Amino acid sequence: MMIATKSIKFFTILAVVFSSLTCFAASGGSTDTKEGQVNTPESINAYIKHHLADSHDFALYSYTNDAGERKHVGFPLPVIVWTSKGLKTFMSSEFHHNDDGHVIVEKGDVKLVKIHSKIYELNEGADHVVFDAHHHATNAHKVLDFSITKSVFGMLLAGLLMLLGFSSLARGYKKGAIPTGVGRLLEPLVLYVRDDIARPNIGEKKYKKFMPYLLTVFFFIWILNLLGLTPLGFNVTGQIAVTACLAIFTAVIYLTNGSKDFWAHTLWMPGVPKILRPVLALIELVGFVLIKPFSLLVRLFANITAGHFVVMSLIALMITLKNQFGPVASTGMSLLLTLFISVIEILVAFLQAFIFTMLSALFIGMAVEEHDHEHAH
Q: Are 77 and 148 in contact (CB under 8 A)?
A: yes
- C-alpha separations of 37 from 60, 125, 325 in Å: 15, 35, 20
State how far the Cα of 344 lies from the Cα of 12, in Å rounded to an integer: 13
* Sign of the torsion formed by the C-alpha atoms of 215, 216, 217 and 220: positive
3-state SS class at 62: strand
Domain boundaries, the chain: 78-147, 151-376
Decide if 262 contacts 369 (C-beta within 8 A): yes
Sequence-separated (6 or more) residues with CB below 8 Å from residue 341? 307, 310, 311, 314
Number of helices (H), then strands (E), belonging to the chain: the values are: 14, 12
Using CA atoms, how far apart are residues 225 and 350, in angstroms rounded to an integer?
8
Alpha-carbon distance 159 to 172, whole Å? 20
Residue 195 pLDDT grade (very low, low, confident, very high; cuts 50, 70, 90) = very high
What DSSP letter does each residue of 183-202 carry, written as one string?
HHHHHHHHHHIIIIIIHHHH
- Give residue-wise pLDDT tens across range 219-246: 999 999 999 888 777 889 989 999 999 9
Residue bearing the bigger pLDDT, 6 or 24: 6
Task: Answer whether 306's CB lies under 8 Å from 314's CB.
Answer: no
Q: What is the pLDDT of residue 170?
A: 85
| Mean pLDDT on 284-298 | 90
What distance in Å separates the CA atoms of residue 113 and residue 222, rounded to the nearest whole number? 35
Q: What is the pLDDT of residues 68-107, one digit of tens each?
A: 776 777 788 899 999 988 899 988 888 764 444 567 788 8
Q: Would you say 101 and 34 are in contact if contact means Cβ atoms under 8 Å apart? A: no
Query: 165 Cβ partners below 8 Å, 6+ apart?
Result: 182, 183, 186, 219
